[in-house]
Chain A
Amino acid sequence: MMSFSALYSKLRKKNIGQYTLLSCCCFFSVMLITSYIFMMRSPTILDVLPEGGDSRKQVMMIFVLAVIGCAVFTTYAAGLFFRQKSKETGVFLALGASKKQLKSELWKELSIISIISCGLGAILGIPLAYIIWSIFRLFIVDTEEMALNFDINSYSYIIIFSIYVIFMLFIMGYKSIMKTNIIDIIKQTHSAEPVHSVPKWFGLVGIILLILGGFCGYIAPSIFILGLHWYPPEGLTAIFYIPALIGLYMILLHTVSNGWNKRKKYKDIISVSMMKFQGRQTVRNMLVMTLLIAGAYFGSFYTPMLGTGAIMSFDDRPIDYAYHFRADQNIPKKDEVFKLADKYNVKITSWADVPMARLGVDGEMSVEKETSLGTTWESVYYNLLQSQIFLSKSSYEALTGEDININSGEIAGIMDTSGDGQGVFGGDVTLVTNTITGESWSFKPIEHLCNDILFGRYVVSDEDYQKIITGLPLDWQERMVFFNVENDEQTYDFAKALFNEIVDHSGKEVAVYDSFDPILKQVHEELYGYYFLDEQEPPNYDNRNSSDFRMYWQYMPQFRVLDKADFIKTTAVFLMLFIFISIICFVAVIVIAFTRCITIAISNKKVYDDLRHLGASNNYLNNCARSQVKKVFLVPIITGTSLIYIFYSMIMFFNDNRLTFYEIAGLLVCLVLIAIISFVLYLIYRLTLRKVLNILKI
């Protein structure tokens, strides 16, 4: 004899598909978020991503996007589950089951579903992150700093997300039972989600809002900071992107409800009308997918942009080996380097070794002030603002082989050839100070010189150089060495050995970041009471192979063969993190698109049967189904991909109001990447379409 619980359990077994779909969606969302959060909060990653830096902000931004995406698709799956269950609930209520009776059964099964799926997701998310990371280490790159550690405190974030999933399930379950109108509950399974008539102008206005929002959002911080001299709170500038989001929603709504091609109005009438009646949920899903695609590509572009520029710049270097060191350091001299080269059978074909000096210079600095409006700034001129490295005209010529013309009283800054470094270039110098003697000299800036290795330094005439360095102790002087070798590509072992020699012979006093400046430190301490680099651990010689050391040590040598070979290794954590993020976002997109298409197929099955009865051929039905699946898959993918590509190009362009050669090359590589990923997504689209056609028996 059957009890109500046994009956409920039998129905559960019969409808196992619905339960599986809901459980899988909860499981997937928690697992994806778990692996993302564990990766993001991992000490391995946090050690590499500077606190408050752009990379960390980007990772956080995409994480928020992934959380929204997972929350939306889980909520959607729950909505679908309760819709399908509503007939059962309605019949029970109509036949006299009490709400208490139903609640008790529902609570039991929701508890099991939510605890098991969230629990499993939270447990398996860590191995997922670990497996993906291990695959990277196995097939792409493996360095000591890539050893993955997890921070167990990350579980607090997972608990918050799981609580959302559990609460959402229970609240939706409660609402599904507590409706007063039983007929509404019974009919809920068949009720549509109409998009109320969407005006035709939605498409055009959507495009305008999207462009306007994207542009305003991008330039708003510049207007605040450069125009108003005010650092706005981060949330405020984000508000300017809202029109873009509204515009995107309007475009998708117009696409689903009206379509863009008026000529095809009757050809697509069936698929468009079916999509219309799944409207609200479809558009919401498509919006989330678009944003996730954008986030996924944003993560994917990081590697090609960084890699292409870096690898091309290594090739473009005018010299094979370059290094500089403080003159008071016991770094291997010329004969020792030649000896080491002999040991590795490397033939040095040219050698230049010149002195340089660190001197104080004038300049303008943005001085921040806390006011009632928040942080504002004003530009203040300082006679002695920071230090820069100086070379004499003859030293520059000895290093580069160029003939330059600099007269006494003139000063030339050295830019990089691509122009990428414009933003970090110290600017024109008019006053130079010998910080030891306190003597100052006025200079007239002349046209910049161009050299990638010497970028950021300044050149004065030989007489002026001798004058300004008089009395400078060795710790304010440097030496720069340039040399070329035969068969540069085959000298990796020598390069590595020389690099190790240089690091081994460098003292603690030169373990500083490249942005460390002893004069700026004094200015900051007087102005703010602290210097920002004092709060950071200095570069550690024991971690000489880490990306942090290789990228930021002030005296890091530039050996082409070493930099090229180790580039992937030294930037591995960055690159892998962004690849990982992309994978998570793409997986979320695929899960949403797949479940949405399957839902559309299931809910429209009867319409397809009716069309078949009305004489529709298999070919016609196939086209209808294809059109629907295409819309769910292709519209968000095309929109998200184009938007992020345009946005990314915009970022590159507005950095310095031009696209450098490396940036153009990077953007082209991104296009190739888009082509490859789009092909993979197309294959998944084909698989989904096949599954949909199977469900519809076409």
Chain B
Amino acid sequence: MLTVKNLHKSYKVGKTKYEVLKGVSLEVNKGEFIAVMGSSGSGKTTLLNCISCYIPSDDGSILLGDIELAKLDEKSLSKIRNEKLGFVFQDFLLLDGLTVRENILLPAIIGGKINNQIEIRAEQLCDIFGIKSIQNKYPADISGGEKQRTAVARAIINNPLLILADEPTGNLDSKSSRAVISSFEQAKKSLGATILMVTHDSFAASFCDKVIVLKDGTVWRTLEKGTMNRLDFQDHLLSAISDMGKE
């Protein structure tokens, strides 16, 4: 589904060049729920922003199916973002001037695919994520958890190949975080969604099938949940992160 090979990205601040990604490679298969973890500055968010082509990468390849994203022109890239990718941001990025329902429908409106079917789907998503009662409210009138669930529903509305989520629980309390993670699980289970989530939260990551741990811009280790239950996997993650700190 998604193959990232030898991805490089650096930033220049004044005359100093900071290499953030130093050849990251990873693979995400259809239907997988994968987390990317790592300490602050390890390159998690940069990796996600490069995959979505929000920021241009320096080198390497990003294949979505058989499409090389980095080589696409602006127009094709917009089409891919609209049809094949879904995004969930840490600070939600809902438009304050639109209702919850309109925010969910936004990708479909942008793509010019608004019809009865998509409206019914929006209705269903509101139902699935428990936000039906607030669908006519504006973002300013709802809680952080509700905002993020709206953002998840928006990411799913166009039935994308891959959902990219950047610290989706970063701004939420534990109850709301749980609700958002449940919505991802729900999306995976009921809709067959594939999710790549950047997080620093081991609790959120413990719900994933696989966790890719980044360290200093490279993949340090990939941890598979396999047959482990969630609590054991969370312990496993914490111990791995603790090991990483010792190195």
Contact = CB atoms under 8 A, between A and B. Distances in A.
A271 B220 CA distance: 45
Contacts of A100: 75
A2 B109 contact: yes
Contacts of A99: 74, 78
Nearest to B97: A14
A164 to B, nearest CB: 30
Contact of A4 (B49, B54, B89, B109): B109
The list of the 3 closest CB pairs from A to B, nearest first, reads A96-B82, A14-B97, A96-B81
Contact of A96 (B95, B96, B107, B114): B107
Interface in B64-115: 74-75, 78-83, 85, 87, 89, 93, 95-98, 102, 105-107, 109-112, 114-115
Contacts of B111: 96
A2 B105 contact: yes
A365 interface: no
B221 to A, nearest CB: 27
Given A11-B97, A98-B74, 14 more contacts: A2-B114, A7-B102, A88-B95, A90-B93, A91-B95, A93-B78, A94-B54, A94-B81, A96-B80, A96-B81, A99-B74, A101-B110, A181-B54, A181-B56
Contacts of A186: 93
Contacts of A183: 49, 54-55
Given A95-B82, A97-B78, A98-B78, A180 B109 contact: no
28 contacts: A1-B115, A2-B102, A2-B109, A2-B114, A4-B109, A10-B98, A10-B102, A11-B97, A15-B97, A87-B93, A87-B95, A88-B95, A88-B97, A92-B110, A94-B52, A94-B87, A95-B87, A95-B110, A95-B154, A96-B80, A96-B83, A96-B111, A97-B82, A98-B79, A99-B74, A181-B54, A182-B55, A183-B49
A100 B77 CA distance: 13
Contacts of A98: 74-75, 78-79
B123 interface: no
Chain A contact surface mostly: helix
Contacts, number: 83
Given A91-B93, A97-B110, A11 B79 contact: no
Nearest to B155: A95
Given A94-B93, A181-B54, A3 B98 contact: no
Given A4-B110, A95-B106, A14 B82 contact: no
Interface string A92-127: 111111111100000000000000000000000000
B109 A3 contact: yes
A93 B95 CA distance: 13
A643 to B, nearest CB: 37
B201 interface: no
Contacts of B32: none
Nearest to B138: A14
Contacts of A97: 78, 82, 110
B119 interface: yes
Contacts of B52: 94
Nearest to A91: B93
A1 B119 contact: yes
Given A2-B105, A101-B110, A14 B96 contact: yes
Contacts of A90: 93
B102 A181 contact: no
Contact of A95 (B81, B97, B115): B81
Nearest to B99: A10
Nearest to B49: A183
Contacts of B119: 1
Most-contacted residue by chain A among B85, B98, B154 (CB, 10 A): B98
Contact of A11 (B78, B80, B95, B114): B95
Contacts of B110: 4, 92, 95-97, 101
Contacts of B102: 2, 7, 10
A99 to B, nearest CB: 6
A98 B107 CA distance: 12
Contacts of A92: 110
A97 to B, nearest CB: 5
Contact of A181 (B55, B75, B79, B96): B55
Contacts of B81: 94-96
A11 B97 CA distance: 5
A148 B200 CA distance: 73
Contacts of B78: 93, 96-99, 101
Contacts of A14: 96-98
B142 to A, nearest CB: 16
Given A182-B55, A183-B54, A7 B109 contact: yes
